[in-house]
């Protein structure tokens, strides 16, 4: 089968959508399909490989080396339509709103509903509604997002399919407890990731035998939160910075617990949380994480961002070996939902049987 996966934004952004696109494309290729990725922007092949660490050399059509907006973006996507039509896909998987009139089975994947406020919010809502009407299937990546789509866009629930984001499980080690460091990982320093909450909870934990890793660009707020800790704890904090994909994957399997005090308006399928699940690392996380990726007492503990509450959860996972083993095993069960091959097959099933017989058609070039 010929499959196109689109992303409106830059593919070398190390966010959940890019991780999903690469993981899904790799699985579809390994299942014998011919896959092309079309992205609005790819600023650097080097950064793409460093940040995402793809296992396969995937065919990518980047419309620009710099982010496009307005008429330039519209013109670029019209040119992309010509290239996609030449490829003659059986299945097109759109990520974010790309309402192009294309051939084949069209799937619109909704990863979140932001932005829903401000001057452009009505325009984005209109584009989403238009895209949904032009698509054969609308996919929500979490159950909470499906429910919100029903309210936000007025789409009947039976017209929305829930298919989770996926993860390349082959890229993650899953060491047992004896090989784990007595440490906590916080992934991401954007404001909604709330690294300060994890750092304050680390201070409330007050255990100098425990380390803390924080990945992501080092911000002033993050550094200030670390500097507010006592010296004995400050020395135990490693600000990793903008690490490459392989380093982040290694850290997920290196630590004993991953912290996610994330503040989402609508719970979405966080790729960083899924990375922890793939490494079978227990999670201490916010109630704002999707219940699809964090189940209290199954693969982690759900707590609010109060330092004392988070510290108590850290203490439990760090010091109670049977609890750690229980949560690790739960993560092993939950990650099955996000396996890239399983998710790829769910997308293939969206194509009518009569259109999915041409699995081994000759490849076509975008040239």
The answer to whether residues 126 and 17 belong to one domain is: yes
* Residue 363 lies inside a defined structural domain of this protein: no
Contact in structure between 244 and 121 (CB atoms under 8 Å): no
* Residue 313 lies inside a defined structural domain of this protein: yes
Q: In this structure, what CATH number is given to the domain that contains residue 127?
A: 3.40.50.2000
* Residue 57 lies inside a defined structural domain of this protein: yes
Backbone torsion region of residue 255, taken as left when φ is above 0, otherwise alpha when ψ lies between -120 and 50, otherwise beta: beta
The answer to whether residues 130 and 177 belong to one domain is: no
The answer to whether residues 72 and 186 belong to one domain is: no
The answer to whether residues 123 and 192 belong to one domain is: no
Task: DSSP letter for 170, please.
Answer: G
The answer to whether residues 207 and 307 belong to one domain is: yes
The answer to whether residues 237 and 160 belong to one domain is: no
The answer to whether residues 125 and 198 belong to one domain is: no
* Residue 362 lies inside a defined structural domain of this protein: no
Residue count (the chain) = 367
* Residue 161 lies inside a defined structural domain of this protein: yes
The residue range of the domain holding 231 is 169-338
The answer to whether residues 159 and 231 belong to one domain is: no
User: What total number of domains does the chain contain?
Assistant: 2
- 19-49 pLDDT per residue, tens: 999 999 999 999 999 999 999 999 899 999 9
* Residue 56 lies inside a defined structural domain of this protein: yes
The answer to whether residues 7 and 68 belong to one domain is: yes
In order along its 367 residues, the chain shows pLDDT tens digits of: 999 999 988 898 878 899 999 999 999 999 999 999 999 999 899 999 999 989 999 999 999 998 877 788 888 988 899 999 999 999 999 997 777 788 899 999 988 876 555 566 677 677 777 777 788 999 999 999 999 888 877 788 888 999 999 999 989 999 999 999 999 999 999 999 999 999 999 999 999 999 999 999 999 999 999 999 999 999 999 999 999 999 999 999 999 999 999 988 888 878 889 999 999 999 999 999 999 999 999 999 999 999 999 999 999 999 999 999 999 999 999 999 999 999 999 999 999 976 544 443 333 334 3
The answer to whether residues 8 and 128 belong to one domain is: yes
Taking the model in full, what pTM does it have? 0.88
Question: What does DSSP say about strands 255-260 and 283-285: parallel, antiparallel, or unpaired?
Answer: parallel
* Residue 367 lies inside a defined structural domain of this protein: no
The answer to whether residues 63 and 143 belong to one domain is: yes
Report how far residue 260's alpha carbon sits from residue 172's, in angstroms, rounded to the nearest whole number: 19
Contact in structure between 64 and 41 (CB atoms under 8 Å): yes
The answer to whether residues 255 and 305 belong to one domain is: yes
* Residue 213 lies inside a defined structural domain of this protein: yes
Phi, psi values for residue 111, rounded to 5°: -95, -30
Residue among 261, 323, 269 at smallest CA distance from 287:
261
Angle, vertex CA 132, rays to CA 130 and CA 134, nearest 5: 70
């Amino acid at each position: 089968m010929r499959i196109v996966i689109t992303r409106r934004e830059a593919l070398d952004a190390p966010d959940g959508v890019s991780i999903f696109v690469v993981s899904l494309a790799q699985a579809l290729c390994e299942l014998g399909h011919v896959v092309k990725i079309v992205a609005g922007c790819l600023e650097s092949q080097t950064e793409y490989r460093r940040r995402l660490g793809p296992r396969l050399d995937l065919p990518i059509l980047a419309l620009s080396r710099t982010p496009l907006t307005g008429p330039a973006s519209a013109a670029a996507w019209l040119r992309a339509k010509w290239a996609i039509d030449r490829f003659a896909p059986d299945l097109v998987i759109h990520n974010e709103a790309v309402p192009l009139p294309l051939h084949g089975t069209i799937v619109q994947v909704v990863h979140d509903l932001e932005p829903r406020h401000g001057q452009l919010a009505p325009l984005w809502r209109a584009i989403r509604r238009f895209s949904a009407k032009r698509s054969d299937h609308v996919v929500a990546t979490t159950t909470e997002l499906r429910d919100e789509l029903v309210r936000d866009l007025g789409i009947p629930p039976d017209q929305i399919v829930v298919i989770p984001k996926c993860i390349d499980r082959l890229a993650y080690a899953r060491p047992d407890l004896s090989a784990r460091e007595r440490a906590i990982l916080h992934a991401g320093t954007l404001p909604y990731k709330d690294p300060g909450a994890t750092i304050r909870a680390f201070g409330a934990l007050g255990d100098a035998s425990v380390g803390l890793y924080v990945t992501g660009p080092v911000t002033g707020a993050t550094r200030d939160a670390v500097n507010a800790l006592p010296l004995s704890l400050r020395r135990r904090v490693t600000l990793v910075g903008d690490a490459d994909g392989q380093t982040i994957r290694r850290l997920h399997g290196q630590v004993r617990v991953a912290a996610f005090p994330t503040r989402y308006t609508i719970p979405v399928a966080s790729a960083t949380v899924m990375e922890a699940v793939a490494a079978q690392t227990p999670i201490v996380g916010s109630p704002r994480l999707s219940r699809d990726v964090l189940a209290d007492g199954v693969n982690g503990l759900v707590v609010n961002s109060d330092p004392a509450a988070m510290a108590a959860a850290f203490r439990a996972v760090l010091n109670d070996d049977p609890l750690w083993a229980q949560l690790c095993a739960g993560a092993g069960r939950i990650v099955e939902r996000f396996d890239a091959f399983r998710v790829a097959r769910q997308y293939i099933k969206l194509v009518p049987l009569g259109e999915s017989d041409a699995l081994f058609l000759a490849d076509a070039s975008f040239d």
